[in-house]
Amino acid sequence: MKFKPTPYKFDGWEDYAGEIKTEYTQCLEEGLDVEPYKAVFDAVASLPKGDIKEEFAKVIADLVHDLPMRDGYKYKEPSDLEGIKALRNLSLKKDTSPSVSLEKKIAGAWYGRICGCLLGKPVEGAWTPTIIGACKCSDNYPLSRYLKKSELKEDALRDVDGVWILNRDSLIDVIGDSSPADDDTNYTVMAQALISERGVDFTPEDVMEAWIRYQGKNAYCTAERVAYKNYVGGYKPPYTAIVKNPYREWIGAQIRGDYFGYVTDNAELAAKMAWSDASISHIKNGIYGEMFVSAMLATAQKSENILDVICGGLAQIPATSRLYEQVMELVEDYKNGGSKEDAFKKINERYTYKSFHDWCHTISNALIVVASLLYGEGDYGKSICMAVEAGFDTDCNGATVGSVIGMMHGIDIIGKEWTEPTNGVLRTHIFGHERVEIAGLIAKTLEQIEKFR
């Protein structure tokens, strides 16, 4: 009797067959010569879920790995570290010296990230009009403080298009006595634990092993979930990032790199650690996003000038990449007197919150981060509120902007209205670190800086 398998019900982020259209868009954007096969992608995407669709999706996956670059594609975007380093524009680096103490900077970075994440967490997944509607109905527009359930009308807890519900458990008056667990802070805590074990010369496989030890599979999303599944299935980095991974340039790595910029003021070393982390789950601009953020934070240890900090991050990624080009365009517009409104209008003309691929992509969110850093004018609250109100991946962008501003200007820039609701405690999904004192995280960071200086 021939065995016929029962169709496997894949979890959403593990369902490669269900993401064939995302795969096509990803291939197109990274310059692969995929257009001749568009009809094939469309046909497979239209099949009902089941074994037949899965089998055709395997064919698509094999096809993707063999696609050549299309003629005329202008970007050069390697994923290997040496290839990345060869294409940097190191003239952007500047020697600077800090005027704020290291202790205050590290405290600012930790609290900046945690509070920025907390601001964006309730509206993560909501479309921009929903976010603005929630702010307006609670007399909090433009956004200037945490959202509260007690201030929201019931209608504001539903998306205007019926797409998504606000994350009620993350509203500031229902979180309890600590900041809630979130992937945007889980990875920062995990990176500290990793460096305690392996130092600053850890490898991609060290990161993968830490993932297995410190979190269950369900703590990982999109590209990270795929990489986790690939690793336990026998693949090693960098193949963990490549096999059936349509999310390989999404924001997941960009949120993981902060700690590498906390533990050193050497932007090149921070970027190297970020590469070792990012390359297990991402390629190309997905990797560059993490390197960019890590290098910005390392630069911010020594500088309070936002243009120097942004350029310090850009100096560690290929000047031939899409991320570099679009961030530099934003910076030049700012330097030439462009307004905040024009900056965000341009971002929204290029990327739409209605496309999940755009919503989650590294570049779209990096642009929101940079615009908020530039037009936030060094004001912590103004900067994180701008990042969250813009929509897209709100908790990620609020956290990254808060981290950079906090590192640049120190803890004194962050008002008690932001820090007090955390009660100095962070919850995580990291095994053995489920409830941690923020002061302890800060102290451990300072110890590691001294050890690895």
For residue 11, name the pLDDT band (cuts at 50, 70, 90). Answer: low
Question: Are 44 and 100 members of one domain?
Answer: no
In this structure, the answer to whether residues 188 and 62 fall within a common structural domain is no
Asked if the structure places residue 156 within a domain, the reply is: no
Spell out the residues 6+ positions from residue 451 whose beta carbon is closer than 8 angstroms to its own: none
Tell me the pLDDT tens digit for each residue of 326-349.
999 999 999 999 999 999 999 999
The total domain count for the chain is 2
User: What are the residue ranges of helices labelled H in 233-339?
Assistant: 258-262, 267-278, 284-300, 306-314, 322-335
Amino acid at 39: A
* Tens of pLDDT, residues 408-445: 999 999 999 999 999 999 999 999 999 999 999 999 99
Q: Does the structure show a pLDDT above 70 at 247?
A: yes
Question: Greater confidence, 49 or 162?
Answer: 49
Q: Which amino acid is at 211?
A: W
Computed over every residue of the chain, the mean pLDDT equals: 94
192 and 329 together in one domain: yes
Average pLDDT over residues 379-386: 98
pLDDT at 380: 98
pLDDT at site 12: 83
pLDDT for res 168: 79
pLDDT at 157 over 80: no
Give the pLDDT band (50/70/90) at residue 153.
Answer: confident
- Full domain range(s) for residue 25: 12-66
Give the number of other CB atoms < 10 A from CB of residue 102.
Answer: 16
**What is the C-alpha to C-alpha distance for residues 40 and 269, in angstroms, rounded to an integer?**
43
| 333 shares a domain with 295 | yes
CATH number at residue 270: 1.10.4080.10
Over 60: is that where the pLDDT of 98 sits? yes
Does residue 3 carry a pLDDT above 70? Answer: no
113 Cβ neighbours under 8 A, 6+ residues apart: 184, 185, 188, 258, 399, 400, 402, 403, 406
Phi/psi at 215 (nearest 5 deg)? -145, 150
My answer on whether 185 and 54 are in the same domain is no
Residues 259 and 387 in one domain: yes
Residue 264 inside a domain? The answer is: yes
Last residue of a domain, one of 66, 92, 111: 66
Residue type, 69: M
- Taking the C-alpha atoms of 217, 222, 226 and 227 in order, what is their torsion angle to the nearest 10 degrees? -80
pTM of the model: 0.96
pLDDT at 60: 97
